Structure 1
Amino acid sequence: MAYILVADDDDILAELVQIRLETSGYEVCVTEDGGAALTQARLRTPDLIVLDTVMPILSGPEVLRVLKSEPELSNVPVLMLTARAGQDDIAGALEGGASEYMTKPFVPEDLLARVEKLLAASNSPQD
C-alpha cells in the first residue's frame, strides 16, 4: 500500500483528497502547513506528495525546493494541487521539480488517475 502525504491548509479540501485516496486503498497523512509537511516527509518518506502552493510556515514552492535538495526525498514524486492557475505558477512548479500540476477545483477521479500514474511511473524500473 502506497503512503501519500497531503499538505493543504484547506481542511475541507484536504479531507476530500484524503477520503478519495483512502477509499482507493492508499495510506494518507494530512498536514496543514509546509513546515509540518517537511517534518512528516523526513520522519517517513512518502511514496507521493500532494502539495498545495499557498500554505502557512512554508509555501508549496519552498517545500518543493527543499524536497528536491535532500537526497533521501529528491526522488519522491510531487503533485501540485493548487488554485494558482497562472502559466508562471505552472512552469515554475514543473521547473522546480513537480511531477504533475492540477488546479482547484478538481475532479476527484482525475486526481486519483494522476496519483496512480505517478506511483506506477515511480515504481517502474529505471533504464
Structure 2
Amino acid sequence: MALKVLTVDDSKTIRMIVKKAFQNYNVEITEAENGVEGLAAAAKIKPGLIILDITMPVMTGTEMLERLKGDADLKNIPIIMLTAESGKDNVLNIVKQGVKDYMVKPFKGEDLIERVRKIMPLEAKAEEADDKKPGRFFTQVEDVVVLTLPAKVLRPVAVEVEGSLQAKIKEMAAAPLKKMVLDMGGVSETNVSLIKLIITVFQDCQKANIAVKLVANAKQGEELKGFQETSQITAVHSIEEARAAM
C-alpha cells in the first residue's frame, strides 16, 4: 500500500520539489495551498505524513498544526515543518509544537527524503522494485545477501539503491536471512552520495538486526577514514573475507 503524503504550502515550487522528491517511491502525494485546504485533505485521506509550511495565507501552518493536534483522528500523524527562518528561537518554537522534524527553505529533494527516512521506511515503486530485485544490486551467496554497488554512485543511483534496500530487508526478514555484505570494490569514486548511502545501509541493517560487512579495496578504505561518518567502519577486501568474519 502506498504511503499517503500531504504537502501543504502556498508555493507551487515547493510543492513540486516535494512531489519530485518522492517520485521513485511508492507514495501518493496530495497537495494543498493553505491550512484550510490542508485540514480538509487530512480529514479526507488520513495521510501517513504531512509536510507543512509555517507561513501561508488563509490559515498558517502553526494554526493548522494546532487543529491537527486537537483532533483525535489526526493528532498522531507525523509532521515535518517547513520554515524560511533558521533562527534559534524559531526552531525551538517548532520543536515545542511536537513535530517530528523541520527543514529550512530552500532545500533539496534528496535532503527531504533523508529526513523522512529517519521517521519511517520508504519503498521503491512496486513496478521498479519487481523489475530490479534481486538481480540489479543484490545476489545471494549461501546465507549472505550481497549488495554490489555500481561504478558510479551519484544521488539518483543512491536513491534507487535505498528504495530497493527496503524491499530486500523485508524479504530477508521473511526468509529469514540475517547477514549482508556491502560490496563497493567496483566503485570508481568516493563521494558524498556514496558516504551517505553506506551510512544508510548500515543504519537500516542495524534496525533490522542484520549483520553487515563492508568490502572495499585498500585505497577506498583509506578514503573512507577521511570522512567522519565512515571513519569507524572497518572494511575487508573480499566477499569471502566478509563472510568469514560474520
After TM superposition, the score normalised by the length of structure 1 is 0.88
Find out whether 1:116 has 2:117 as its counterpart: yes
Could you report, residue by residue, the CA deviation over 1:6-38 in whole angstroms, capped at 9, with x for unpaired residues?
001111111111121133221100111111000
Count of residues in correspondence between the two structures: 120
CA deviation profile, 1:48-87 (whole Å, cap 9, x unmatched) = 0000010111111111111111111110000002212222
Contact 1:48 1:119 in 2 (8 A): no
AA paired with 1:111?
A: L
> Which residue number in structure 1 is paired with residue 13 of structure 2?
12
Counterpart for residue 41 of structure 1: 42
Tell me if structure 1 keeps the 8 A contact 2:20–2:109.
Answer: no
1:46 deviation in Å?
0.5
The equivalent of 1:92 in structure 2 is 93
Aligned-residue offset at 1:39: 0.6
Per the alignment, residue 123 of structure 1 pairs with none
Unaligned 5+ segments in structure 1 are 121-127
CA deviation vs aligned residue, 1:64-123 (integer Å, no higher than 9, x gap): 111111111110000002212222221112111211011011121110011122224xxx
Does the 8 A contact of 1:53 with 1:84 survive in 2? no
- Alignment of 1:104 with 2:105, yes or no, is yes
| Distance in structure 1 (CA, Å) of the matches to 2:65 and 2:73 | 13
User: Partner residue of 1:68?
Assistant: 69
Contact 1:8 1:31 in 2 (8 A): yes
The ranges of structure 1 where at least 4 consecutive aligned residues each deviate by more than 4 angstroms after the TM superposition are none
- Residue 125 of structure 1 corresponds to none
Amino acid at match of 2:62: P
Report 1:14-29 matches (<5 A): 14-29=15-30
Matched residues in 2 for 1:2 and 1:8: separation?
A: 19
Partner of 1:51: 52
What amino acid maps onto 1:12 in structure 2? Answer: T
Cα RMSD over matched residues? 1.2
